Amino acid sequence: MPASIEIQICDDRAKQWQEKPTNWRCGTFFGHQPATKSNLKPASEWNRMTITAMGPKITVVLNGEVVNEIDLTRWKDGKLNLDGAEMPKWLQGKPWSEMPTKGRIGFQGRHAGAGIEFRKVKLLRL
């Protein structure tokens, strides 16, 4: 986990996620930076997320609206978030500003006991 960047895809309307910190909800850089807003469709409807990574800059668009943006070069501490809050212990490690901007892409298969489904996944080299 500390050597990766996770963009959360949970259902914010589920009680278990409403009780979690805002930087654990959908569209967040998990444990690091909350989304600026929740733009989820109701459960049973498909959500569309577009993640664009251009070097150290990453943008998250959820259902047509930008909900998060980050510049990895600003993350110079491996234990503290930009707002000064401590990262969860299991996420602490090398600062994002020192990590490579190329690597593997992973998809979560199960989360908190709930299955996850994907459709129409596209990867484009920019």
Where the chain has pLDDT below 70, the residues are: 1-2, 111-112
Q: Structural domain boundaries of the chain?
A: 15-113
The residue written with tokens 């998250």 in the block is 60
Tokens matching residue 83: 């707002």
CATH of 15-113 given 2.60.120.560, 3.40.630.10, 2.40.280.10, 1.10.730.10 = 2.60.120.560
pLDDT in tens, 87-117: 999 999 999 999 988 888 888 777 667 778 8
Beta strand ranges found along the chain (DSSP E): 49-54, 57-62, 65-71, 110-111, 114-115
Q: What is the pLDDT of residue 102?
A: 86
C-alpha dihedral sign at 120, 107, 55, 103: negative
